Structure formats: C-alpha cells, structure tokens
Amino acid sequence: MSGVEGFIETWPEAIQPLTRRLREIALAAAPDVTEYIKWNAPSFCVDGDDRITLGLERSGAVRVVLHRGAKAKDAAGFVFDDPMKLARWAAPD
C-alpha cells in the first residue's frame, strides 16, 4: 500500500483509527478534494490549494490544520464560526 493510507500504516496503531476517520471527513468535504503527503503529514487540497493538513504526533496527538493559503488575503469580513470554542484560529490570514 502506498500514498496516504500507506503513510498512516507507519504510525502507531492507537492513532490510526482517528487519522483514518479525519481522512474520510476531509475527502468527503468536497467532490474535488485530493490527498497527498506534504510536510510529512496527510494533506488535502482543492484546486491545488492546501486546505487541510493532519499534524500527527507519535504521542497520539493529532492537529487539524485548516489553511487559507500562503498568500496574504483581505481578511475583512473573515469569520470562523466556532460556537463550541473547540478551535483556536491564530490569525485570519
């Protein structure tokens, strides 16, 4: 097995189910999502732009990184709705 699934299999078994579930969610988010390994992590793109990266740690921690792109964008009107306060959005860029 190669690609993202093969990469997931190299991680401790305890982290694999959560990683696979997050992968399923990312792939189902839009019909044109593609996946690959970038930054030594499963990453998901739409139209060639990175949108989600799963930051895996051998300790079992998983970070879900939501990208808005590397180039500065106008942040006016940017809203990240998180009524349960589960996420920390460092900056609107």
Classified as helix, coil or strand, 79 is coil
CA distance 63 to 47: 23
The C-alpha R_g of the chain, in whole angstroms, comes to: 14
The class (CATH top level) of 3-66 is alpha beta
Domain chopping of the chain, boundaries: 3-66
Tell me the pLDDT tens digit for each residue of 9-67. Answer: 999 999 999 999 999 999 998 899 999 999 899 999 988 888 999 999 988 888 998 88
- pTM of the entire structure? 0.72
Single out the residue of 75, 56, 65 nearest to residue 16, CA to CA: 56
Task: State how far Cα 50 lies from the chain centre.
Answer: 9
